[in-house]
Amino acid sequence: MDFDFDTQLELRGTHCSKYDGIEKMFGVDGEGVIPMWVADMDFPAAPAIRAALQVELDRGYFGYFTNPTPVSQSVADWYQRRHGWSFDPEAVRYTHGVISGYADVLAAYSEPGDAVITFSPVYHAFFRKLRAMGRTALQCPLVERDGIFHMDLDMLSGMLTGNEKIMTLCSPHNPGGRIWSADELKAVADFCAAHDLILISDEIHMDLCFPGAKFTPIGIAAPEHMDRTVVLNAASKAFNIAGGETGLAIIPDEKMRRKLDAVMMDRESSPNRFAMMMIKAAFTECDDWIDAAREYLAENFRIFAERMSALPGVRVMDMQSTYLSWVDFTDLGMSDAELIKRLVTEAKVAPSPGTQFELGGTGHMRFNLALPRPTLLEAISRIERAFSDLQ
């Protein structure tokens, strides 16, 4: 089946965060600005997902949801079919989005005042949530080598204070699009075991790996450490259904599940009926859609990287997954404020400021490439014109 990723949806004025939130985020009128910040796609959801929602609309019942077992089975089947990891569907729990699930995990396995390890720069919502819950962040800087990020566990070992309880791993990594190898993942899990740390593996971008790239779940790389591992995931990024605000926590160990269940019982939450229908459809009927989307996104990145890298002083990190490109402007010697002015005010292109991703983010920007190609090409042309004085 052919899918149309080239037609731009009209999203302004539809309560779309990435369009209608520009003024609040950047302090400029969002009219005419191409948003490349919020991490969702400017593509319509897969036909099977829309059909699943239509069934619910036609039924006309919008009440409480129960019995998630068929949905959990679809999650387990997808992981096994697409990524080779088998687990009991009973290991799956549902959260109000991945970051809400992250908060539940922090509450289950740590206390206020404990430290949480991150490999930075990394997804900014981790910091917002852990600090709001009274935890502190121990940021181990990622090392850029051969054009990609690497984790330095020896460096991390020397940074430990003994107050750390949890390690947060973004796999694949956001920003940077790095797919960690099985050996790297095994080393991280071994490190956690050696230092008595709970490992949270956020695998939300796993299905956005470019064709030819292989994602390894932590459950495949380090099955012996599942007694201290929580996998967070969602269908939201890969299938563009973030508005369903539903995430997954996969916890193979029963003792660990009981701790999270106690926290979730306090929340008195239940799954979103419409999100559960979308998740089930995504993981049972949308292989062809996600494969087509991955090819389209890989070509978007190829075009973006080729043209942006031609700008003097601009470096685009190579990536293997996600649609979020990490771009280094540090050689230009501009401040972050100057970069934002050139990009948002002059080029009318709005990326995510690198400083949001904390340590290692200064002088960088993250660009969302999940745009119809005509829109992406227009955004690139605008950036080229805004930086034409450097050529």
Confidence of residue 1 (pLDDT cuts 50, 70, 90): low
pLDDT score of 389? 87
pLDDT tens-digit profile of 336-379?
999 999 999 999 999 999 999 999 999 999 999 999 999 999 99
Residues 280, 298, single domain; the answer is: no
277: domain CATH number is 3.40.640.10
- For residue 259, being part of any structural domain is answered with yes
Number of domains in the chain: 2
- Whole-angstrom Cα distance, residue 315 to residue 62? 49
Does residue 135 sit within a domain? Answer: yes
* Residue 269 confidence (pLDDT): 77
Alpha-carbon gap, residue 35 to 16, rounded angstroms: 11
Task: Report the pLDDT averaged over residues 223-238.
Answer: 98
Assign residue 372 the CATH number of its domain. 3.90.1150.10
Judgement on whether residues 341 and 370 belong to the same structural domain of the protein: yes
Q: What domain range includes position 341?
A: 17-46+287-390
**Average pLDDT for 131-141:** 98
> Token match 């790297």: residue?
184
Looking at 242, 265, 285, which one is the last position of a domain? 285
Instruction: Assess whether 156 and 255 both reside in one domain.
Output: yes
On whether both 174 and 297 belong to a single domain, the answer is no
Alpha helices, H only, the chain:
17-20, 22-26, 47-59, 69-78, 98-109, 124-132, 153-159, 182-194, 218-221, 236-239, 254-267, 273-285, 287-308, 336-340, 373-386
Question: Which tens digit of pLDDT belongs to each residue from 157-167?
Answer: 999 999 999 99
pLDDT above 90 coverage of the chain, percent: 97
Confidence (pLDDT) at 268 = 79
Quick one: 111 and 156 in the same domain? yes
Q: pLDDT, tens digit, for every residue of 58-117?
A: 999 999 999 999 999 999 999 999 999 999 999 999 999 999 999 999 999 999 999 999
